[in-house]
Structure 1
Amino acid sequence: MLLKDKTVIITGASRGIGRAAAFECAKQGANIVIGHSGRPSGGQAAQSLIAEIKDIGRHAIDVGSDAANLDTGELLVREAVKAFGQVDVFVNNAGICPFHSFLDMPRETYLETVNTNLNGAYFAVQAAANQMKKQRQGGSIIAVSSISALVGGEFQTHYTPTKAGLLSLMQSCAVALGKYNIRCNAVLPGTIATDINKEDLADPEKLAYMSSRTCLGRLGEPEDLAGPIVFLASDMSRYVTGASLLVDGGLFVNLQ
């Protein structure tokens, strides 16, 4: 019960990495605020997750609001405090990656990606940090960045800068918020089999190639991120801040 009675907000928590992290945090004793897009599919997925969390004796609520909306963070914090009285952990996980070539990148695609992955995240982190400062009990903020913060991608020129931005944001926030005992860290997933890359990995040859590039010989699963997120959320990492944790099966180091 590493997170017993803590309140954890996770954005993009109705599916993929966010869902796996939310369930593991609940298993570790936390109450969960499930942030999702607000679309009907997100709401349905959130309700099924709430039922699963209740089955293990924990509590959860869902808050539907677009991660690109700069007011979403304030809403998530407000609803968390209303339901559970406090905010102890904030996990910024929501993100999109509509693959597209650089030279004909539509402005709408670029702006949607940046607003969802970085601009909305900035103000959501700010809202969570202000609540944690007010509580005077410290807290943990975790950004789900990506290996893409460290390497380029031909069809990800709009995406990789946002993930690099999240990593940099956690480093700077670690400096800015340390005086309040608020720790800020990033996890950097490699290729994780989720909805965000389902179409890209539909080609069996590409799937085999991407798997072979990892030291462990397989792609990641959402559950592979849940443990590292719980670690950074818990007091086991109480002296860890400004850190970046690669969770990529050895993809980054396997250059030979």
Structure 2
Amino acid sequence: MALLTGKAVAITGAASGIGRAIALEMARHGASVCINYYPDEPSAAAAAALGAQIAAERGPGVFASVAGDISTPEAGQALVAAAVAHFGKLDVFVSNAGICPFAEFTTMPADTYRRTVAVNLDGAFFATQAAARQMQAQGTGGSIIGVSSISALVGGGLQTHYTPTKAGVLSLMQSCAVALGQHGIRCNALLPGTIRTGLNEADLVGAKGAAMAARVPLGRLGEPADLAGPAVFLASDLSCYVTGAQVLVDGGLFVNLQ
């Protein structure tokens, strides 16, 4: 069952990890997808590979990509403009781009803190703002999804710069749900638990990874594809009366921490 047929989607930071999995699944559900990726060679190659896979499965004309540092307002604006240029509209926006350079609180360099905030929170704000402007101008509503984290609800000793940004993304989606509801624009947050991505893969090997998995009631760590189904649901008309929600996708980890 294709839940997103005819919808145009834009996703930040989608060359790899969670963003890539969401882009691929949304394309499989009939959406046309435009992604943003960081402007370096590995990300460009990963974006091209994603485009080739989507083209192989869906045919040409349903994928586009644009490079940009999402911490700048211009990158979010460029992504929205690219989606509209290729597909004529924007129905769904996913704010996914994020970084998490683990660091000790008392010795954390100021630029590590500022870069994390700039990408994770400033980037989410400016790109969401650009998407909301486009959806409001179209007058046909839309769905905005912010990829937050279980870290918005719990602490992290090596994530004192990261957890506030993810709490900020959650709060941003809740506030935008109120601000944009009158325009038929729904805003919801996905809160992943521990998901294996390039950000944390090296930290999840061996005994440490096994111990973390043992804390998850479903008995395993998450994979990027575990976020794709919930994202499709929030993007689709099946969730037409869902806004301001926080959707935990963590295998039950949060309730087991209480």
Q: Where on the TM-score scale, by shorter chain, does this alignment land: which range?
A: over 0.9
Alignment pair present for 1:170 and 2:205 = no
- Within 5 Å, give how 1:96-245 maps onto structure 2: 96-202=99-205, 204-245=206-247
Say which of 243, 247, 250 aligns to 1:248. 250
Residue 37 (structure 1) aligns with? 38
Alignment pair present for 1:52 and 2:53 = yes
Residue 78 (structure 1) aligns with? 81
Q: Distance in 2 between matches of 1:188 and 1:212?
A: 20
Q: Distance in 2 between matches of 1:32 and 1:201?
A: 31
- How far 1:70 moved relative to its partner? 2.0
Partner deviation per Cα, 1:149-175 (whole Å, 9 max, x = no partner): 000000000000000000000000000
Q: Distance in 1 between matches of 2:91 and 2:57?
A: 21
Q: Percent identical across equivalent pairs?
A: 60
SS at match of 1:71: helix
Two-structure CA RMSD over aligned residues (Å): 0.8
Structure 1: gaps of 5 or more residues: none
Letter paired with 1:90: F
- How far 1:57 moved relative to its partner? 1.7
Deviates more, 1:28-37 or 1:65-74: 65-74
Q: TM-score scaled by structure 2?
A: 0.97
Partner deviation per Cα, 1:168-211 (whole Å, 9 max, x = no partner): 00000000000000000000000000001012113x11101100
Q: Distance in 1 between matches of 2:257 and 2:40?
A: 40
- How far 1:255 moved relative to its partner? 3.1
4+ runs deviating over 4 angstroms: none
SS at match of 2:129: helix
